[in-house]
Structure 1
């Protein structure tokens, strides 16, 4: 099974990180891989791609004429790809050597149409001691309570998700009107919307294999409390947006809240009483602070999305 991995880049400021992401794809244990690099409206990035990768037999290149954003760039990458499966990786991620092999194992053995894996943290500036694992999704990492193990989920993170390419193209890929900042507002959910359409059309969701691992670099600015609270606010806003745009897509958020307050908060309370520490106290407080920020974002979203 041939797998095409799409990575997009729009600035040379992130090029060293992209190179590490690309290297992690080209050194996979699976032996039939195509790396698709997409330059999003940057002549400098496009030229760098051709200087460095044009002669590589396992690399295909595409340059957008204009800066069109991540989702449309990914769609363009999927169109030029030649694999049976198209997978997506961010420019600040590093794939485990067995990542693609774990994806392929699910496709071949379970006849899946979409497979995703686990995002693990790569703390560039150290792990923030105040951040509870239940809210790791704020930094693009699979959170505690995401899933009980292998099995079907609504969607995984966009930096560790794949689709049978023919099905991805039949669905016209990602909806390019979703995602990114518009003025002061930040609607996220391109993967959510696409996977809702996938389930509606084909009756299947994304199969989650936690052994298909990708490390996400968490830079210093992403570990600041104010940045994380802002991120939580816009996550709540996006949940409301998805609730309106894709009504069938929001069940997992309610399930998460149920586990959070029905399982994780009581467990943390017991642990805090038995083995108190400053870190545990701060994380317990931040658990409610982040939940509140998500809630406020959702309420703000209700004023915008009706």
Structure 2
């Protein structure tokens, strides 16, 4: 099993979702079969002239008629996603730019400006792009421009930890080798001036991962082995081997934007009270119905507005804070101040993929750092592209694993921090209502563009956080079954650890 964040335990039907009740109620609405994913950079002037349009990393360019899903940047800075239907003879960049402008006209331009408030004054270091720069579907994205001075302090020394298990390729899994190599290549291409990449080989059954590092990345990627299975255990092995002030984590099935690590770690240089930073996760492919349905349910992204979570000033719009850790970010794109993470004991080894708990390791770490008094920042400027799982079986596994990971991490928090129990019990009734809402079956709905103001009708799969796309009843049931199982899975995992079993 490889450690992409969306691989979880559970059950599903490979050939599609079919309910037992018959009729439309028991059958999922199928999303489109394929959508091309692109990266569109626009000028930040009033007309937002297109500067470049490139495929998502490793993906095909838009060709012919079809739906195109675009990350929209303004001079390199991510600001929105849009969906456009490109017809024969139409220029994809023009269609997508028009869709972006229509969303702005409806919801206002101010909050989509690259001059949006940034808590730490950190913007990508860019070079100006001439107004005459041609729009391309194959050339690399344009260099970025500097809108504000760089942070006054140097970027912190960082270790990037990637946990993997048998994704380096063996019989029947040649594609996994390509994914891991793409992930490592993108990490080695970061513009951060002071970092190392540490690959944690978790419970390997072959030497394929070590062989890949030795043959292709010798001297550039450090390799360590963790014999006990489990994502949290692997991450703790990385924490133990890391050096520097910051430890960043990503997955073996992502491609990191070249500016990802700089954007993810720069806030630590200017806020000594910051314990964690998370970033934006977008789909690298939308080539199967399962991938599209996942992204239409919100995917992994948390929107395009920076947000600071401060335990000293709980957010008024999140009454369940800090127990709604899923809103803080995801494990494929997170970084911690090393001292803060080590002070709370790292990740709970009884959580995470590869254990009976199925997940929740990242959520546990977010809440532990917050409850220790540190702040957490979400920044969309730190971008990675994630390879969603492709099959209906994967989507069922994912739904079950999300539910299990949610209640497993809550159990872990209460077991390890019993002082939080009164606050948890006080919020439990509202929390149960929230859990019912986020796992509810949706027979129909409106998809929309992603931005500060939520969905724009008919615009894009994945109005991130809005969850307005149809969601099959069978997936809702799997999520809820997972929630019931999560505490049991966590306790099973703890018993295994105490008994010395793996």
Is TM > 0.5 for Structure 1 vs Structure 2? yes
Deviation at 1:304, TM superposition (A): 7.3
CA RMSD of aligned residues (A): 3.6
Is the CA contact (8 Å cut-off) linking 1:8 and 1:91 kept in structure 2? yes
Superposed CA offset, 1:222-266 (max 9, x none): xx2x432342133223323333332568988966866898xx999
- Taking a change above 3 Å as real, the CA distance of residues 48 and 294 of structure 1, as seen in their structure-2 partners, is closer
- Secondary structure in 1 matching 2:471: helix
Tell me the equivalent position of 1:242: 409
Query: Alignment length, in residue pairs?
Result: 279
Tell me the equivalent position of 1:279: none
Residues 1:220 and 2:393 are matched in the alignment? no
Residues 1:20 and 2:182 are matched in the alignment? yes
1:291-302 aligned at under 5 Å gives the runs: 291-301=476-486
Residues 1:187 and 2:358 are matched in the alignment? yes
- Secondary structure in 2 matching 1:206: strand
User: Aligned match of 1:96 in 231, 237, 257?
Assistant: 257
Partners in 2 of 1:206 and 1:199 — Cα distance? Answer: 7
1:71-110 aligned at under 5 Å gives the runs: 71-110=232-271
Tell me the equivalent position of 1:151: 307
Partners in 2 of 1:70 and 1:259 — Cα distance? Answer: 25
Deviation at 1:165, TM superposition (A): 1.4
Unaligned runs of 5+ in 2: 1-155, 170-175, 310-324, 415-419, 449-456, 459-467, 492-502
Deviation at 1:133, TM superposition (A): 4.2
Tell me the equivalent position of 2:210: 46
Partners in 2 of 1:45 and 1:296 — Cα distance? Answer: 35
- Taking a change above 3 Å as real, the CA distance of residues 81 and 269 of structure 1, as seen in their structure-2 partners, is closer
Is the CA contact (8 Å cut-off) linking 2:357 and 2:490 kept in structure 1? no
Q: Normalising by structure 2, what TM-score?
A: 0.48
- Taking a change above 3 Å as real, the CA distance of residues 36 and 296 of structure 1, as seen in their structure-2 partners, is closer
Tell me the equivalent position of 1:122: 284
Tell me the equivalent position of 2:191: 29
- Taking a change above 3 Å as real, the CA distance of residues 254 and 82 of structure 1, as seen in their structure-2 partners, is farther
User: Aligned match of 1:166 in 339, 344, 353?
Assistant: 339
Residues 1:209 and 2:379 are matched in the alignment? yes
Q: Normalising by structure 1, what TM-score?
A: 0.75
Tell me the equivalent position of 1:268: 446
- Secondary structure in 1 matching 2:293: coil
Deviation at 1:180, TM superposition (A): 2.9
- Secondary structure in 2 matching 1:239: helix
Residues 1:60 and 2:216 are matched in the alignment? no
- Taking a change above 3 Å as real, the CA distance of residues 205 and 293 of structure 1, as seen in their structure-2 partners, is farther
Partners in 1 of 2:211 and 2:379 — Cα distance? Answer: 36
Deviation at 1:132, TM superposition (A): 6.1
Deviation at 1:95, TM superposition (A): 0.6
Tell me the equivalent position of 1:135: 297
Partners in 1 of 2:447 and 2:186 — Cα distance? Answer: 40
Deviation at 1:75, TM superposition (A): 1.6
Partners in 1 of 2:158 and 2:296 — Cα distance? Answer: 32
Unaligned runs of 5+ in 1: 276-282
- Secondary structure in 2 matching 1:131: helix
- Taking a change above 3 Å as real, the CA distance of residues 60 and 296 of structure 1, as seen in their structure-2 partners, is closer
Instruction: Specify which structure has the higher proportion of helix.
Output: 1
- Taking a change above 3 Å as real, the CA distance of residues 254 and 113 of structure 1, as seen in their structure-2 partners, is farther
